Structure 1
Amino acid sequence: MKKISPITIALLCFAALLIAISVPAAAKSKPSQKKWQAQYIFSRKDSDIEKELQRMTLDEKIGQMIIAQTESRNNSGGDPNYLQLQRLVQQGKVGGIMFMKGDAFNAAMMANHFQSLASRPLLMSADMERGLAMRLSGATEFPPNMALAATGNPELAYAMAKAIAGEARTVGIHQSYSPNVDLNINPANPVINTRSFGDNVPLAITMSNAMIEGFQANNVIATAKHFPGHGDVTVDSHLALPVLNADRQRLFAYELRPFKAAIDQGIISIMTGHLAVPRLTGSMEPASVSKTIVTGLLRNELGFQGLIITDAMNMKALYNGNNVPEMSVKAVQAGNDLLLFSPAPELAHAAIIRAVQEGAIPMNQIDASVKRILQVKKWLQLEEKKLVDLNRVQSQISTNSHLRLAAEISSRSLTVVRQDPRHLPLKNGRVLNIILQDKSNPEPGREYAEKLNRSFPSTTVRIDPKTDPQTYASTLAAAGTADAVIISSYVQVFSGSGTLRLTGQQQQFIHSLAQSIPENKPLIFISFGTPYLINAFPEIKTAVCTYSSNRESEDYALLLLRGEIKPEGSLPVSLHGVTP
């Protein structure tokens, strides 16, 4: 064997050192994909999926694209909707089910039942913006996005999504229709409001990206919604067609930025919204059925590789009562992979098949959509994990750690919007608590009023749209003799017309009350809902927002009144709106 000289060895070592230095530097320029990211899931070639796609009939392929819905209650006693869904699952005419209201244990039983009937695993889903409890009783209820944003803490956002994912998988749910990445630029928005992270772009991106990772790193699909942005509208798309009056330049500068960030983060699914964007499309066609928006903008320009799903197709912005075939075909032609909550899933299934057979929808487009669906189901390992252990349901949802997390978010989101230092904390004395409501309901604030009375001698009066003149007069008189007055507002959003959801009498009463109270007497406005309501009464010098009316929010508001906690939240919106 030929002997290697010391000089040669030294040169080889030097060359190895250069390689060792250069390789990490190159690797840093392009971060490796994580297994929970769309870039990883949808770029992998899988011969099993290709073979499965070739074996499937057209009927089966279209079935994979339809997400039906069911109430999460035991409906085995002959309910026609339940029996129809059971038949559709057995026939392969639906590929997934969205769970509506009910309880967690029944949802888990139903998930197992429907999975056992399906020839291919079903994609189970729910709207879980505020946790699984938003749909299923027994689970953990979390504060809304705006409260989360008020904490300014992405670690809490990640932890919340991780907790929701754990509870969802326990009952057999694989996809959350959240986070909501709409920027609530318009204070008069009647449908998004506190569901949004606010109107601050960097903050919204930070919080939503943390939630995306929290969901997907824990095996639940995150869904960013409502593309291309539902924050600057004044109409609720459940009731009518909203219009986003933004041109292309504005969209890219503002509304689309959280969506682009979500795509870069690796989000698996994006939901298209039922709203018109006429300055982009040149028509009043809803974005959810617009090829210009779904395929042209989202798929091609923004480069989204993942699943595109419509918002619920029973909403009145799209559905007129008899247009299921037309709107279903248009939704697929636009480029959606999944159609959510069709009013008539079997009719939608037949219409899409007919459109493919007639050449109105290319077969290769259907194959591309179904391939993405199969890729996601494989990532979720549904073949191996499609059934859940019912014995674990009660112990794995609404755990103490999840309840503590929800309480921490409520505590750290508590925001003093403005303050007269003479008003907080309250001193001992008689308190008049005025519960302000936009509807007649004796329940909101009832428990809170009882707890307030244990802290301060207090009298509670409800002011709602049906309040009579005598009650207004007696309440105004009582305010004059009380040592402090609290207005506890349970108004969650503005009205469908974008106006303040209070009667003229209610508004005039609050203005008159504020004028009648001496400046040194505490008059405190607490919004257990939308922060924008505070802006309607600028004469009130001390205003607090909890963003939510849940029990934890009420409890922390009481602690603030007693001076036992310091508020940590920061308002994540401009009360006057934003002009991008």
Structure 2
Amino acid sequence: MLQIKHSTFSHLQRLLTLALLPVLLLSCNESSDKGNQQHAASAKPVPVLAVERVPYERPVSLIRALQEPESAWVDSVFNTLSPEERIAQLMIIEAFSDKGPAYEADVMRLIKQYKVGGIIFFQGGPVRQARLTNSYQAAAKVPLLISMDAETGVGMRLDSTVQYPFQQMLGAVADNGLIYNMGAQIAAEFKRLGMHVNFAPVADINNNPKNPVISYRSFGENRLDVAGKSLAYMQGMQQNDIIAVAKHFPGHGDTDVDSHHDLPVISFDRQRLDSLELYPFRQLIEYGLGGMMVAHMHIPGLDSTANLPSTLSRPIVTGLLKKHMDFEGLVFTDAMVMKGVTKYFAPGEAEVRALMAGNDVLERLNSVPRAIRAIKAAIRRGDLTQAEIDRRCKRVLAAKQWVGLDKYKPIDLTNLYEDLNTSAADSTNHVIAEAAITLLNNRKRMLPVRQRRRTRIATLSVGARRTTSFQREVKEHATTTDFVLSRKANIKETRKLWKKLQRFDVVLVGLYGPSIRPSNNLGYSKEAAALVQKLARSDKAVITLFDNAYALTQFPDIEKSRALIMAYQPHFHAQEAAASLIFGKIAARGRLPVTVNEHYAYGDGISKDVPLLATP
């Protein structure tokens, strides 16, 4: 007997349904015509063949779902939408959960009146956001695709939640499995908050130390590292049902202009882009990347049209990304409110050009009604067709079904805080921090520090307002005297402190920037920076930078320090890891992911497989 696989049978059944559909429609029309010609009492019922709809079998990947976007749910939802509502399904609007009732009402109006396709959440709190999500979803005609720009997890946007490292710190880690685990953990937190899309990873290669917008958000300057770590992050999310959106295509790493404020110009030719910037994106596409975000950059080597951002370029979005690189996932614009696009193109016109270029989803619009009017006018002119809109709308609906919105359930608020602050998340941050800590100097075997009976140890946190976690962790290993110095310290303060530090044999220095987020400029006063320089020359200082690796260049002679540690961020786990390394409790395994200057290059790091000091 002929054996037919279930999936093959389902496909045949579906084809049979589609084949019979015209016959059924014709029969119904003929019945209606006859009913108009004959008295109702004499009309005979027309037999209708009952055909059961094929159950939805969720594809293993989003790409597969987008390749075959037709399904009973997609078709039924699509058929309820007006042409204007199909346009709106291609739009994601911003939302905050910390701006109050008037703002929330405005977001609700866009959902109810225009039937937008999704939301990107920014700052707020987890419970507030969950409640808003439930309200917005209840009001939506079609379930909303909920997204977040959360490169470091939901803690990047929400209070009372976990924040994971920025990508520069992850770039120092040798084991990409740790990054996969982080991606999986982020996916779990996204799902708990009813979210479906994360605009991460950053797949830009940061090979320009002056880059004001990527910098510490990149895995580093090496294309193989960036590709491998981006892939681990992507798979951690997508294998746990969250759509990853890589950015910023075709590569925002080698620029000194922030596209939030102006239009960067990338002057490289196609050969350079192919060999470097495009490499990580190509690898992600090969392994099933679900979404791609296109940057606002002018790249004459790819499209010479004057002042045209890559977001609005058909040769770049359709020609390069879709056709040449065979990307079949969803293409998202970067935020349409950014100066990189609004400087030369007005709201409405920009959205039309973005769709003409080949983007599927428009993110963060200046004005939803203006964009819809402009797109409808473009359809009337023939610049766009309704068929193109409809095709993209079905792709968006297919993505919604793939993430489970065909079976939407409100977020359960019970134990939400506890579910977002798990021991697994804490453990993930702990192991990453220990794997990333990078030892750059260890002259005369300064480390590990051993406190003998007469060894006097001081700790100094520069850029802090009070005693830091690093100083408290050091006290777990040694008896110390603690000092704190402002980033803006004056000459009187630094002279007084320097005099006090002369009494100590070892000074453990922590350097901090202005915020929890790494900085491009630490903003130290001339006097504070001079004190760091004197400590570096003192032959008794162990200096740890809890900030952007590029900030090492802001401290002359720091390469002369007896010991120098790169911790990348001021998170508690990084401060804990630095203290453990200094006293020989953990191994030094991190490698510098970028070239800082002539003293510290990509790959530098004194690495040992065992702790510097064997523990009993």
- Verify same fold: TM over 0.5: yes
What is the letter of the counterpart of residue 152 of structure 1? A
Please state how far the C-alpha of 1:423 moved relative to its aligned partner: 1.9
Structure 1 CA distance, aligned partners of 2:481 and 2:367? 53
1:423 aligns with 2:437: no
Structure 2 CA distance, aligned partners of 1:131 and 1:373? 24
**Given the alignment, which residue of 382, 401, 420 partners 2:424?**
401
**Secondary structure of 2:401's aligned partner:** helix
Question: Which range moved further: 486-495 or 145-154?
Answer: 486-495
Are the equivalent residues in 2 in contact too, given 1:243–1:275 (CA < 8 A)? Answer: yes
Distance 1:272 1:546, change over 3 A: same
1:481 aligns with 2:503: yes
Q: Give the match for residue 324 of structure 1.
A: 347
How do residues 430-579 of structure 1 correspond to structure 2 at under 5 angstroms? 430-437=456-463, 442=465, 446-452=468-474, 455-464=478-487, 466-491=488-513, 495=520, 502=524, 504-515=526-537, 517=538, 519=539, 521=540, 523-536=541-554, 537-576=558-597
Structure 2 CA distance, aligned partners of 1:40 and 1:332? 23
Distance 1:201 1:36, change over 3 A: farther
Question: Which range moved further: 59-68 or 42-51?
Answer: 42-51
**Given the alignment, which residue of 324, 328, 334 partners 1:311?**
334
Deviations 1:289-308 (A, max 9, x none): 22222122111211111111
Q: Give the match for residue 62 of structure 1.
A: 87
How do residues 189-268 of structure 1 correspond to structure 2 at under 5 angstroms? 189-268=211-290
Distance 1:512 1:546, change over 3 A: closer
Structure 1 CA distance, aligned partners of 2:349 and 2:196? 29
1:123 aligns with 2:149: no
Are the equivalent residues in 2 in contact too, given 1:175–1:222 (CA < 8 A)? Answer: yes
Please state how far the C-alpha of 1:241 moved relative to its aligned partner: 2.7
**Secondary structure of 2:67's aligned partner:** coil
Structure 2 CA distance, aligned partners of 1:543 and 1:144? 21
Structure 1 CA distance, aligned partners of 2:242 and 2:71? 24
Distance 1:385 1:258, change over 3 A: same
Structure 2 CA distance, aligned partners of 1:336 and 1:188? 30
Please state how far the C-alpha of 1:182 moved relative to its aligned partner: 0.8
Identity %: 30
**Secondary structure of 2:485's aligned partner:** strand
What is the letter of the counterpart of residue 230 of structure 2? S
Structure 2 CA distance, aligned partners of 1:540 and 1:274? 42
Are the equivalent residues in 2 in contact too, given 1:66–1:93 (CA < 8 A)? Answer: no
What is the letter of the counterpart of residue 544 of structure 2? I
Are the equivalent residues in 2 in contact too, given 1:121–1:386 (CA < 8 A)? Answer: no
Are the equivalent residues in 2 in contact too, given 1:59–1:93 (CA < 8 A)? Answer: no
What is the letter of the counterpart of residue 561 of structure 1? I
Are the equivalent residues in 2 in contact too, given 1:434–1:463 (CA < 8 A)? Answer: no
Question: Which range moved further: 452-461 or 283-292?
Answer: 452-461
Please state how far the C-alpha of 1:100 moved relative to its aligned partner: 1.0
Deviations 1:187-206 (A, max 9, x none): 22222222211122222222
Please state how far the C-alpha of 1:320 moved relative to its aligned partner: 4.7
Q: Give the match for residue 20 of structure 1.
A: none
What is the letter of the counterpart of residue 574 of structure 1? T
Distance 1:202 1:322, change over 3 A: closer
What is the letter of the counterpart of residue 240 of structure 1? D
* Bigger RCO (CA 8 Å, 6+ sep): 1
Structure 1 CA distance, aligned partners of 2:300 and 2:363? 24
Distance 1:485 1:236, change over 3 A: farther
Distance 1:74 1:472, change over 3 A: closer
Q: CA RMSD in A?
A: 2.5
Structure ID, larger Rg: 2
Please state how far the C-alpha of 1:508 moved relative to its aligned partner: 4.3
Are the equivalent residues in 2 in contact too, given 1:490–1:528 (CA < 8 A)? Answer: yes
Structure 1 CA distance, aligned partners of 2:533 and 2:265? 33
Distance 1:41 1:539, change over 3 A: same
Q: Give the match for residue 340 of structure 1.
A: 363
Structure 1 CA distance, aligned partners of 2:400 and 2:342? 29
Are the equivalent residues in 1 in contact too, given 2:536–2:543 (CA < 8 A)? Answer: no
**Given the alignment, which residue of 64, 82, 97 partners 1:40?**
64
What is the letter of the counterpart of residue 495 of structure 2? A
Are the equivalent residues in 1 in contact too, given 2:180–2:236 (CA < 8 A)? Answer: yes
Structure 2 CA distance, aligned partners of 1:245 and 1:538? 34
Question: Which range moved further: 543-552 or 280-289?
Answer: 280-289
Are the equivalent residues in 2 in contact too, given 1:176–1:221 (CA < 8 A)? Answer: yes
Please state how far the C-alpha of 1:427 moved relative to its aligned partner: 3.2
Please state how far the C-alpha of 1:505 moved relative to its aligned partner: 4.8
Distance 1:186 1:553, change over 3 A: same
Are the equivalent residues in 2 in contact too, given 1:435–1:460 (CA < 8 A)? Answer: yes
Structure 2 CA distance, aligned partners of 1:340 and 1:262? 22
Are the equivalent residues in 1 in contact too, given 2:518–2:569 (CA < 8 A)? Answer: no
Structure 2 CA distance, aligned partners of 1:90 and 1:121? 12
User: Which structure 1 residue ranges, 5 or more long, are not aligned?
Assistant: 1-33
User: Which structure 2 residue ranges, 5 or more long, are not aligned?
Assistant: 1-57, 603-616
Are the equivalent residues in 1 in contact too, given 2:444–2:562 (CA < 8 A)? Answer: no
Question: Which range moved further: 182-191 or 113-122?
Answer: 182-191
Q: Give the match for residue 300 of structure 1.
A: 323
Please state how far the C-alpha of 1:51 moved relative to its aligned partner: 5.7
Distance 1:276 1:417, change over 3 A: farther
Please state how far the C-alpha of 1:407 moved relative to its aligned partner: 1.3
Structure 1 CA distance, aligned partners of 2:340 and 2:559? 35
Please state how far the C-alpha of 1:134 moved relative to its aligned partner: 1.1
Question: Which range moved further: 93-102 or 355-364?
Answer: 355-364
The number of equivalent residue pairs is 530
Structure 1 CA distance, aligned partners of 2:277 and 2:390? 31
Deviations 1:345-397 (A, max 9, x none): 33323322232233232333322321221110111120203422222523421
Distance 1:291 1:418, change over 3 A: farther
Please state how far the C-alpha of 1:453 moved relative to its aligned partner: 5.3
Structure 1 CA distance, aligned partners of 2:428 and 2:216? 19
Structure 2 CA distance, aligned partners of 1:478 and 1:420? 24
Q: Give the match for residue 169 of structure 1.
A: 191
Please state how far the C-alpha of 1:541 moved relative to its aligned partner: 4.4
1:72 aligns with 2:97: yes
Distance 1:45 1:85, change over 3 A: closer
**Secondary structure of 2:172's aligned partner:** helix
Please state how far the C-alpha of 1:108 moved relative to its aligned partner: 1.3
Structure 1 CA distance, aligned partners of 2:527 and 2:418? 49
Distance 1:505 1:293, change over 3 A: farther
Please state how far the C-alpha of 1:425 moved relative to its aligned partner: 2.0
TM-score (normalizing by structure 1): 0.85
Distance 1:556 1:119, change over 3 A: same
What is the letter of the counterpart of residue 371 of structure 1? K
What is the letter of the counterpart of residue 576 of structure 2? D
Are the equivalent residues in 2 in contact too, given 1:162–1:218 (CA < 8 A)? Answer: yes
What is the letter of the counterpart of residue 57 of structure 1? S
Please state how far the C-alpha of 1:255 moved relative to its aligned partner: 0.7
Distance 1:42 1:452, change over 3 A: same
**Given the alignment, which residue of 375, 383, 391 partners 2:414?**
391
Structure 2 CA distance, aligned partners of 1:198 and 1:402? 24
